[in-house]
Chains A and B, each alone.
Chain A
């Protein structure tokens, strides 16, 4: 669009002597290619660190590939084996289960906290910054501390539970208890982050909407559901998609919770897809099969993001 206005004078110059002057050709090239040049760094980096690994992994996944040995082409053999692999489905069940258990309360809490922080309260900036502290803490540190909190014999959580007169829980032994422990870790880290994003979006909502709603007699609760939430729709969508991408790749928290092992409990109670991928590729040396898991995960994330997109769109309509 902008180019046309710049190019015209040079077109006039062409008419004068029938040849395109060197300077104007340079200008034209500049106008035409400069934008590409400026956005190139991202695409170059993406090609090297994003696209190439993606394609290479796809190529590896078509092979029976021993990590430090032979590789032979097997076509889609790894994928057919994968879809019949009960361990993969177990890992997928865990991943999705922990994802739902973590993300739903996380976004609801973030919404509530953002709403609170959006009011005129004392020390607002302090609290707004404070919610982000868990997020800037190293994930390994979080994992170690929470692993201790949820230890069976020496954990603080069990200490409180028995103090209340209930039976201590072997957090790693049961599927439900391990999922809860991991979901708590995830929420500890990510609730504040989502709070800030939602808060930013809330502040962008024009104040006069609320004023006129008040004049019409709308209560704060009604204003929240009728004005705030619908207008947050694009931002909610963003947080849901980002949480989906992160949640399906859940790795560090369950690994540290399981004492650094990839098994995810004695019966794979909390082995996620990424843990299964790591175990296969780097502990069993089945690099090709591991690559197939990686690609299956990629496909799943795309599907889940699309489903979320549809759901959130419909719900917020």
Chain B
């Protein structure tokens, strides 16, 4: 309802337009050298890529370049914005981040991005895990549209204070031993639920566990290798679904939808004791829990073994006025040293083998998470991660078909069978 707003907008537009009829000039911000001869390179990211210090460092080394970082909190808001810029032919950053769940969608329209091989990117190949490099390419011999920034190694973050209340071990190695697989995780959750801790549930929501289980599949999820939707027949999907359903029926879940107000507050209030955390999630947990809860969280192994959840690439849109300079910046931001620096700042796990072996990286600890040796925990599995075949609409199928269906079961609105049918029919619609 915005009647006055629209009215005001029209009036203001009319008045300004009248006043500026003569003075109207095209907005060329960022597309031509500023008065001091500097060019501005805009970097579009979502969440937190940890580029603040790196941008300053780059500006110092390149006095003729100004780096402007633009960040959108949620990937869900970031993607439509980027698409609108691409459709309009202007407005996108010179360097843009593409997440793995949406990368394939953009790869179907590669004309929107600069082929980085033309800029000499071939020499960078040894910098990246082989599968990460390959995923940045369209097909096996097509153009390269993205340079890998990070991978999403998995772990489980847990609240030590709540574990202590439930008489569970609090030491991270002992906690990891509690749940070698998902069944033992559910058993631990039931034990936790029996003790009166004041928490609403053991784990925040089954959707985070569902994502973790899918990422452990190590092969295909919703799509097969020919980009055909196989959500209904892939046993991996069905098994992750069934385990999630057991978690709901055994009362292990706090049934708090991720990214909701209750979820954000739940970190502060101790509404749940565990959440699955890919390394990029650490910053989000810290932000939601606040300084008052520093030292209460710790990081243990994820139930069911390692997997990759998330991770991104940097691409240069064809509409950029400075593709060459933009490529140089992307090259710098994805270099092994920069990856370690970004990890230190915000937690995205390096994808460069050299960075993963870097003693400086392996020695990193996170003081907010009880000094957990995050470099070692996340780095250990990263090199053996098995890449997933994601298909063009992976993120849409997961977040707009399966997660709402899982949440509907948690809300008690659908039976597991009905929800499964609902998820499948929505998946078909999203994949269209």
Is the beta-carbon distance between A260 and B86 smaller than 8 angstroms?
no
Tell yes or no: B17 within 8 A of A by CB: yes
How far apart are A175's CB and chain B's nearest CB, in angstroms? 10
Q: Is the CB of A45 within 8 A of B17?
A: yes
CB distance from A181 to the nearest CB of B (A): 12
* CB proximity to B under 8 Å, residues A213-265: 242-243, 245-247, 249-250, 252-253, 259-261, 263, 265
Q: Closest approach, in angstroms, between the C-beta of A262 and any C-beta of chain B?
A: 8
* Contact (Cβ within 8 A) B13 A68: no
Is B430 a contact partner of A250 (Cβ separation < 8 A)? no
Q: Kindly identify which residue among A148, A263, A282 contacts B400, using a CB–CB cutoff of 8 Å.
A: A263
Q: Which of B13, B14, B405, B429 has the most CB of A within 10 A?
A: B14
Q: Give the bracket for the number of chain A residues in contact with chain B.
A: 35 or more
A153:B14 contact, CB within 8 angstroms? no
Are A154 and B262 in touch, CB under 8 angstroms? yes
Asked if A267 contacts B408 (CB within 8 A), the reply is yes
A135 to B8 CA separation, bound complex (whole angstroms): 13
For the complex formed, measure the closest distance between the CB of A252 and the CB atoms of chain B, giving whole angstroms: 8
Alpha-carbon separation in the docked complex, A41 to B105 (Å): 43
Chain A residues with Cβ under 8 A from B79's Cβ?
283
The reply to whether B1 and A260 contact each other, CB–CB distance below 8 Å, is no
Chain A residues with CB below 8 A from B76, complex form: 260-261, 283
Q: Are A148 and B261 interface neighbours, CB within 8 A?
A: yes
Contact between A263 and B404, CB atoms less than 8 A apart:
yes
B257 at the binding interface (Cβ < 8 Å): yes
Let me know if B74 is at the binding interface, CB within 8 A. Answer: yes
CB closest residue in chain B, given A49: B13
B299 within 8 A of partner (CB) = no
A83: min CB distance to chain B, Å: 16
Do A67 and B87 touch across chains, with their CB atoms under 8 A apart? Answer: yes
Q: Which residues of B contact A30 (CB under 8 A)?
A: none
**Could you tell me if B396 and A246 are in contact, using CB atoms closer than 8 angstroms?**
no
Q: Which residue of A lies closest to B409 (CB)?
A: A266
Bound: A283/B407 CA distance, A = 20
Please indicate which of the listed interface residues A69, A174, A193, A286 has the most CB atoms of chain B within 10 Å of its own CB: A69
Q: Which of B69-83 contact A (CB under 8 A)?
A: 74, 76-77, 79-80, 83
Whether the Cβ atoms of B2 and A68 lie closer than 8 Å is no
Tell me the B49-95 residues at the A interface (CB within 8 Å): 74, 76-77, 79-80, 83-84, 86-87
In the complex, number of A-B residue pairs with CB atoms less than 8 Å apart: 112
Q: When A49-B13, A267-B408 are in contact, do A246 and B200 touch as well, CB less than 8 Å?
A: no
- Please tell me which stretch of B139-147, B264-272, B366-374 contacts chain A, meaning at least 4 of its Cβ atoms lie within 8 angstroms of it: B264-272
Q: A154-B265, A261-B76, A282-B84 are in contact. Are A246 and B3 (CB under 8 A)?
A: yes
Which residues of chain B come closer than 8 Å to A155, judged between CB atoms? 261
Whether the Cβ atoms of A242 and B18 lie closer than 8 Å is: no
**Which residue of chain A lies nearest to B261 when distances are taken between CB atoms in the complex?**
A151
Chain B proximity of A221: nearest CB distance (Å): 31
Residue A211 interfacial (CB < 8 Å): no
Question: CB-CB < 8 A to A170: which residues of B?
Answer: 411
Verify A68–B413 contact, CB threshold 8 A. Answer: no
Given A45-B17, A283-B80, does the pair A267, B404 have CB atoms closer than 8 Å?
A: yes
Residue from B3, B261, B396, B412 in contact with A173 in the complex, judged by beta carbons closer than 8 Å: B412
- Which residues of B in the span 6-23 have a Cβ within 8 Å of any Cβ on A? 10, 13-14, 17-18
Chain B nearest CB from A79 CB (Å) reads 17
Contacts of A159 in B (CB 8 A): none
Q: Which residues of B are found within 8 Å of A263, using beta-carbon distances?
A: 400, 404
> Does A295 touch B at the CB level, under 8 Å?
no
**What is the CB-to-nearest-CB distance from A41 to chain B, in angstroms, rounded to a whole number?**
6
| Minimum CB–CB distance for B353 against chain A, Å | 33
Q: Which residue of B lies closest to A264 (CB)?
A: B404
Question: What mask results when residues 141 to 155 of chain A are scored 1 for a CB within 8 Å of chain B, else 0?
Answer: 000000110011111
The answer to whether B108 has its CB under 8 Å from any CB of chain A is yes
- Asked if B25 is an interface residue, CB under 8 A from chain A, the answer is no
Residues of A within 8 A of B105 (CB): 285
Q: Which residues of A contact B257 (CB under 8 A)?
A: 172, 259
A154 touches B17 (CB 8 A): no
Q: Does A186 contact B (CB under 8 A)?
A: yes
Contact A135 B80 (CB under 8 A): no
**Complex contact A139–B87 (CB within 8 A):** no
* A189 interfacial contact with B, CB 8 Å: yes
B413, A173: Cβ atoms closer than 8 Å: yes
With beta carbons under 8 angstroms apart, the residue of B3, B13, B108, B200 that contacts A245 is: B3
- Asked if A190 lies at the interface with its beta carbon under 8 angstroms from chain B, I say yes
Interface centre among A135, A266, A287 (most CB of B within 10 A): A266
Proximity string of chain B (224-261) to chain A, C-beta cutoff 8 Å, 1 when within and 0 when not: 00000000000000000000000000000000110111
A266 adjacent to B74 (CB under 8 Å): no
User: Is B4 close to A, CB under 8 A?
Assistant: yes
Q: How far in angstroms is the closest Cβ of chain A from B395?
A: 10
Query: Is B422's beta carbon under 8 Å from chain A?
Result: yes
Write out the residue numbers on chain B whose beta carbons fall within 8 Å of the beta carbon of A186.
1
Q: Is the CB of A153 within 8 A of B266?
A: yes
Complex formed: what's the CA distance from A42 to B80 in Å? 32
Interface hub of B3, B13, B266 (most chain A Cβ within 10 A): B3
Interface CB pairs A-B, < 8 A, 18: A41-B14, A66-B109, A68-B87, A68-B109, A69-B109, A153-B262, A154-B266, A173-B412, A173-B413, A193-B4, A243-B3, A253-B1, A259-B261, A263-B400, A263-B404, A283-B76, A283-B79, A283-B80
Q: Given A66-B109, A189-B1, output 11 extra A-B contacts at Cβ < 8 Å.
A: A49-B10, A148-B261, A154-B265, A186-B1, A190-B1, A247-B1, A259-B261, A260-B259, A261-B259, A266-B411, A267-B408
B residues lining the A interface (CB < 8 Å): 1-5, 10, 13-14, 17-18, 74, 76-77, 79-80, 83-84, 86-87, 105, 108-109, 112, 200, 256-257, 259-262, 265-266, 269, 271, 396, 400, 404-405, 407-408, 411-414, 422, 429-430, 432
Listed in ascending order, the chain A residues whose CB lies under 8 Å from chain B are 41-42, 45, 49, 66-69, 87, 135, 139, 147-148, 151-155, 170, 172-174, 186, 189-190, 193, 242-243, 245-247, 249-250, 252-253, 259-261, 263, 265-267, 278, 282-287
